[in-house]
Amino acid sequence: MADVNKLFSFNYKEYEVDRIMKTNKLVKKLTGKSIIEFFDNIYFSNEDEKEILKKVFMNRIDDEVVSFIMGKYNENPEYFNNHRDWRKLDSYMRSVILGWVTEDATIYHLNKNGINAVLNEDNRDIFSHHNFTPDLKIGGLLIEVMTHYYEKIVDDNVFYIKKVKLDLLKNFNSWILLYDVHSTPMFTVLNVNSVRIIREERKLIGGKRGYVIDLSGVKFYKIKKMPGVFRELINDFM
């Protein structure tokens, strides 16, 4: 039996608080709601798990949550350990949920503004392995949603992506919807086969091999520009 105390952090880490605050600002721009107000709009592959995962996200780690997650962990510890890198189980799950919130807030914003955006529902089970596919389909384009938390993109002109993710996205000729959330949330859209790789790193943040991507000359937009940017992109590439 795994040691629960070694697998759970039981408290928010400083970086998690920072991510949640920045994502909350982005979600408000996209939906007019806070993350918690928007939580019921999030798609879960298993609705019975929603309240458990909401407790995890809000750091209400009680006996019910621990028992549930440990049951899932013990079914397939190799999967969890391969995917969660250096994070404890609750921290890893909060990060995944933050990604889901951002994806669904993006869908909400685009659909409200007349752009057909659809979720790839196969990516919505934390507890089972799936074949990787991009997060969204927007007007026929395959889109991977990413949020850059670490350095301010518009100052440093770079962002980081795991090698395995970029290599898989290239198989789909996918696009990256990249959010910069350091001050006023902004975004850009990049085709994975057109990005310029500055260098490969053996260990990025999180301990995974990855690429440093050059963003010099890339234009970032305010959130209100998103529907127009996607209309133009869809017209150009479909």
Each of the 238 residues of the chain gets a pLDDT tens digit; together they read 467 888 899 999 888 999 999 999 999 999 999 999 999 899 988 888 889 999 999 999 999 999 999 998 888 888 777 777 678 889 989 999 999 999 999 999 999 999 999 998 877 888 766 667 899 999 889 999 999 876 555 557 888 888 888 998 999 999 999 999 988 899 999 999 999 999 888 766 556 788 889 998 899 999 999 999 999 999 987 6
CA nearest to 177, candidates 128, 107, 125, 237:
107
- Give the position of tokens 């050059």: 214
Strand partners, 187: 179, 221
Residue 1's SS3 state is coil
Tokens (6 digits) for 129 = 């392995």
Note the helical H segments in 58-128: 63-75, 77-83, 89-112
Per-residue burial over 29-65, b = 16 or more CB atoms within 10 Å of its CB, e = otherwise: bbbebebeebbeebebeeeebeebbbbbbebebeeeb
* 29: amino acid identity, one letter: K
Kindly list the domain boundaries of the chain, sorted by start residue. 1-117, 132-238
> What's the pLDDT score for residue 201?
83
CB 203 within 8 A of CB 191: no
CA nearest to 192, candidates 209, 171, 208:
171
> What's the pLDDT score for residue 14?
87
d(CA 26, CA 82): 29
* 107: amino acid identity, one letter: I
d(CA 117, CA 126): 22
> What's the pLDDT score for residue 231?
95
∠ CA 106-111-116, rounded to 5°:
100
> What's the pLDDT score for residue 139?
85
> What's the pLDDT score for residue 127?
78
> What's the pLDDT score for residue 109?
97
CA nearest to 190, candidates 227, 143, 149:
143
Residue 225: C-alpha distances to residues 25, 107, 113, 131 (Å): 17, 15, 11, 32
> What's the pLDDT score for residue 224?
96
Q: What is the CATH number of domain 132-238?
A: 3.40.1350
> What's the pLDDT score for residue 163?
86
pTM score of the predicted model: 0.91
CA nearest to 177, candidates 47, 185, 150, 66:
185
Residue 134: C-alpha distances to residues 12, 73, 84 (Å): 29, 25, 19
